[in-house]
């Protein structure tokens, strides 16, 4: 065994790894297409937009997490919250996360972004395209449904028109 590091060989391997499209992303996109879901893919960033009939800011964003072998789906509010709005909405975010059973609300207190996410851990499971498509479309539906139920109350709290308790009173389980 040599202590010499083959830097050119290592660099070439890393370049090939970076240039090769993600197998996991390919499986996910193939399964979504088989399920009739239209996507717009960024192969380099390993992200995709789930295209729908609504405005662009109502779309779901998918992110492939290679380390955990998962697809994470986000529904992001189209605007940035001010510092005052962030402070007001934080208790409602905590309450919403206690209410939700699979999804989670995220508030980036530095940027002011508000979103809801859920994930499907694919791992190394040998799922056929149809089965994987069913799991992924269920997660997309969950993120959309949960956002529609939770976000109006959160945005009312952020705007100062409601408190966390009254916002939570309008949330109903599916």
- Using DSSP, state whether 65 is helix, strand or coil: strand
Q: Which two tokens stand for residue 33?
A: 């297409």
> Is the Cβ–Cβ distance between 79 and 154 less than 8 Å?
no
Residue 10 predicted with pLDDT over 90: no
> Is the Cβ–Cβ distance between 112 and 86 less than 8 Å?
yes
> Is the Cβ–Cβ distance between 88 and 158 less than 8 Å?
yes
What does residue 41 show for φ and ψ, rounded to 5 degrees? -105, 140
Number of helices (H) and strands (E), helices first, in the chain? 5, 6
DSSP conformational letter for 43: T
Structural fold of domain 7-169:
Yope Regulator; Chain: A, (3.30.1460)
Residue 125 predicted with pLDDT over 70: yes
Give tens-digit pLDDT for 108-123: 999 999 999 999 999 8
Give tens-digit pLDDT for 57-73: 678 999 999 988 999 99
Q: In this structure, is the dihedral angle defined by the CA atoms of residues 93, 99, 100 and 101, taken in order, positive or negative?
A: positive
What pLDDT is stored for residue 126 in this prediction? 87
**Model pTM greater than 0.85?**
no
Residue 100 predicted with pLDDT over 70: yes
What does residue 64 show for φ and ψ, rounded to 5 degrees? -90, 125
């Amino acid at each position: 065994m040599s202590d010499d590091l083959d830097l050119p060989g290592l660099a070439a391997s890393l370049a090939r790894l970076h240039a090769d499209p993600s197998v996991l992303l390919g499986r996910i996109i193939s399964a979504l297409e088989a399920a009739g879901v239209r996507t717009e893919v960024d192969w380099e960033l390993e992200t995709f937009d789930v295209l729908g009939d609504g405005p662009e800011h109502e779309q779901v964003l998918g992110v492939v997490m290679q380390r955990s072998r998962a697809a994470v789906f986000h529904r992001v509010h189209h605007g940035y919250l001010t510092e005052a709005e962030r402070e007001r909405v934080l208790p409602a975010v905590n309450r919403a996360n206690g209410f939700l059973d699979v999804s989670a609300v995220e508030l980036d207190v530095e940027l002011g972004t508000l979103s809801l996410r859920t994930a499907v851990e694919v791992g190394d499971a040998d799922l056929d395209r149809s089965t994987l498509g069913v799991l992924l479309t269920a997660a997309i539906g969950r993120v959309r449904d949960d956002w529609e139920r939770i976000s109006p109350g959160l945005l009312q709290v952020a705007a100062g028109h409601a408190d966390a308790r009254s916002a939570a009173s309008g949330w109903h389980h599916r």
